[in-house]
Amino acid sequence: MTKVYTSSVIGASAEQVWDIIRDFNGMPLWHPLIAVSRIEDELNSAEVGCVRDFQLKDGGKIREKLLALSDYDFSFTYSILESPMALENYVATLKLTPITDGLRCVGEWTAEFDCASKDEEELRVLIGQSVFQNGFDALKARFG
């Protein structure tokens, strides 16, 4: 099992950032790699079990299922159902933790998945840097 962990300090409260990222269908509004997204079967984007189908700006398509959502913990967990990446059993969590010293929070994005050993390092960098850190950098830029 391959594990990826990325964290970042964002210059806004956990509540402010959560307002942006909570919408499971809202990634095109804040993540620079995502072009469009839709929730399948007309379900609510906060409904556990809903599936988002999104297209990357490079044309790739990914389908993900919402497994858990907690407004109390500022977190959601999802799995990948379909992806151009050579991985299986992918489960990730995006979580915000308030920092009590100032108006900031820590974002933590983790993933676990199975892949061929030859692909492990490439996927770890792709997911950790291109996806997770790129998303955090966009949030940091948004909040100054």
Task: For 47-101, write each residue's pLDDT tens digit.
Answer: 999 999 999 999 999 999 999 999 999 999 999 999 999 999 999 999 999 999 8
Give the total number of structural domains in the chain: 1
Q: CB of 43 within 8 A of CB of 134?
A: no
Percent of residues, the chain, with pLDDT higher than 70: 100
> What is the mean pLDDT of the segment spanning 33-50?
93
Domain encompassing residue 18: 2-142
Q: CA-to-CA distance for 78 and 63, rounded, in angstroms? A: 10
Percent of residues, the chain, with pLDDT higher than 90: 90
What per-residue confidence (pLDDT) applies to 17?
Answer: 97
Q: Select from 126, 124, 119, 134 the least CA-distant residue to 3.
A: 124
Q: What is the CATH number of the domain that holds 133?
A: 3.30.530.20
Q: CB of 2 within 8 A of CB of 123?
A: yes
Exposed (0-12), middle (13-18) or buried (19+): which is 93, by Cβ within 10 Å?
A: middle
Q: CA-to-CA distance for 137 and 8, rounded, in angstroms? A: 8
Please, which pLDDT band fits residue 36 given cuts at 50, 70 and 90?
A: very high
Whole-model pTM: value is: 0.93
Q: CA-to-CA distance for 89 and 9, rounded, in angstroms? A: 28
Q: CA-to-CA distance for 55 and 34, rounded, in angstroms? A: 6
